[in-house]
């Protein structure tokens, strides 16, 4: 600094310093708490965590085991319809099949109907992004600038509504359930609405604003694999049409695995089904439209009840049980090591006293 000119000295002093402020926080002088781990505290932590996890895990497993569920693979039972659907030129030909089953015990409470798919990869990276969230919000967007390609528009320029591979591949089988008792057949009432998440139904999906739904979608066309335009998905309930159709909303929430199930219907608890599904003979009737043979897939229909912990999924209970068992075993191992070391220390102390 002796050779530094006064001007450069002033510039150096004016330059901001990189040293932290002389405060307790930046100089790390704040009071801190350092846990003093003792054998009692460590062992008690392991045993308490293990007991809590085991209790929760066993409760979840017992709860899951109380779920009543029946699953039917109808892709094999409907082999004739499957062969018909292999040829895309038969898209306008109807095909029906059925599957009989027997409930030996009543399925009490709320009963949910799911459809299941196997070997269908909704988690493919190009499939997952093939949608337009702005379009599903009911906004007027140019789908050509979205990730919907190649399901954006037809050759004449008419845009698809909704666009994208996810919407185009929607599950479109129709499943009805019939109860056979005393030589009579009663159709089980099923609810189409109320099966999607509230946030999806009220936040993420909106219909375009117009006087009526058909005019709202004027100038658009249905996706190529659809049989009806989006504003006619539910001809019985006008409030369940367009982008807020429950089946469309449920399908658009893609699955993380290639084998999955999605909620299709709920049994309406009315008349003789007020308490659920009574024991007896039942028949599923399928309008077979969704082909699965080309990707070596399978289709299932599932009837299931629910409990306080959810549906029939034992993963969470098994995970808690494994973690609780591991924590408890770790506590016993630490105890054994401590006793062995204490015994060894006592032995050497006694030997040292005898030598002295």
- Answer with the residue of higher pLDDT: 283 or 27: 283
User: Residue 154 in contact with residue 168, Cβ under 8 Å?
Assistant: no
Residue with tokens 């229909």: 301
Average pLDDT in the 220-238 region? 91
Q: End-to-end distance of the chain based on CA atoms, in angstroms?
A: 67
C-alpha dist (Å) from residue 198 to 138, 194, 205, 233, 249: 17, 8, 10, 20, 11
Q: Is the pLDDT of residue 201 over 80?
A: yes
- Measured between alpha carbons, how far is 247 from 250 in angstroms, rounded to an integer? 5
Per-residue pLDDT, averaged over 28-53, amounts to 89
* Higher per-residue pLDDT: 344 or 258: 258
Q: What is the pLDDT of residues 109-159, one digit of tens each?
A: 999 999 999 999 999 999 999 999 999 999 988 988 889 989 999 999 999
Segment 329-345 shows an average pLDDT of 87
Q: At what angle do helices 39-65 and 315-355 cross, to 10 degrees?
A: 160
Q: What is the pLDDT of residue 309?
A: 84
In percent, how much of the chain has pLDDT > 90? 64
Other CB atoms within a 10 A radius of the CB of residue 148 amount to 25
CA 251 – CA 170 distance, rounded (Å): 6
Residues 6+ apart with CB under 8 A from 131: 146, 147, 148, 162, 163, 164, 165, 166, 167, 252
Global pTM exceeds 0.85: no
Task: Answer yes or no: are the C-beta atoms of 88 and 317 closer than 8 Å.
Answer: no
Cβ(166)–Cβ(172) below 8 Å = no
Beta bridge partners of 284: 99, 177
Of 1 and 185, the one with more pLDDT: 185
Distance CA 314, CA 210 (A): 47
Asked whether residue 5 carries a pLDDT value surpassing 90, the answer given is no
pLDDT at 207 over 50: yes
Residue 1 has pLDDT above 50, yes or no: no
**What sign does the dihedral 232-233-236-238 (CA atoms) show?**
negative
**Domain limits of the chain?**
40-67+311-339, 71-306
């Amino acid at each position: 600094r002796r050779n530094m000119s006064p001007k450069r000295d002033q510039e150096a002093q004016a330059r901001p310093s990189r040293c932290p402020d002389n405060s307790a926080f930046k100089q790390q002088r704040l009071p801190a708490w350092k846990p003093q781990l003792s054998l009692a505290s460590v062992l008690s932590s392991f045993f308490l965590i293990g007991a809590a996890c085991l209790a929760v895990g066993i409760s979840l497993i017992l709860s899951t085991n109380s779920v009543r569920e029946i699953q039917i693979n109808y892709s094999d039972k409907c082999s004739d319809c499957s062969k018909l659907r292999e040829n895309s030129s038969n898209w306008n030909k109807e095909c029906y099949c059925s599957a009989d089953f027997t409930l030996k015990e009543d399925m009490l409470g709320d009963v949910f109907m799911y459809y299941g798919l196997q070997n269908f990869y909704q988690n493919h990276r190009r499939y997952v992004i093939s949608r337009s969230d702005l379009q599903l919000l009911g906004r007027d967007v140019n789908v050509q600038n979205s990730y919907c390609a190649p399901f954006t528009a037809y050759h004449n320029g008419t845009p698809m509504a909704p666009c994208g591979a996810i919407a185009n591949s929607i599950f479109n089988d129709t499943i009805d359930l019939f109860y056979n008792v005393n030589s009579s057949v009663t159709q089980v009432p099923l609810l189409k609405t109320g099966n999607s998440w509230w946030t999806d139904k009220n936040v993420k999906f909106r219909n375009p604003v117009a006087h009526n739904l058909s005019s709202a979608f004027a100038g658009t066309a249905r996706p190529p694999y659809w049989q009806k335009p989006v504003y006619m998905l539910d001809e019985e309930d006008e409030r369940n049409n367009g982008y807020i159709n429950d089946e469309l909303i449920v399908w658009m929430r893609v699955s993380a695995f290639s084998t999955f199930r999605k909620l299709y219907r709920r049994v309406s608890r009315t008349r003789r089904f007020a308490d659920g599904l009574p024991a007896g003979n039942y028949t599923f009737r399928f309008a077979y439209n969704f082909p699965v043979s080309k990707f070596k897939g399978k289709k299932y229909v599932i009837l299931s009840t629910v409990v306080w912990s959810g549906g029939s999924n034992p993963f969470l209970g098994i995970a808690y049980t494994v973690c609780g068992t591991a924590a408890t075993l770790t506590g016993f191992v630490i105890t054994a090591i401590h006793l062995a070391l204490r015994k060894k220390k006592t032995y050497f102390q006694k030997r040292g006293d005898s030598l002295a």
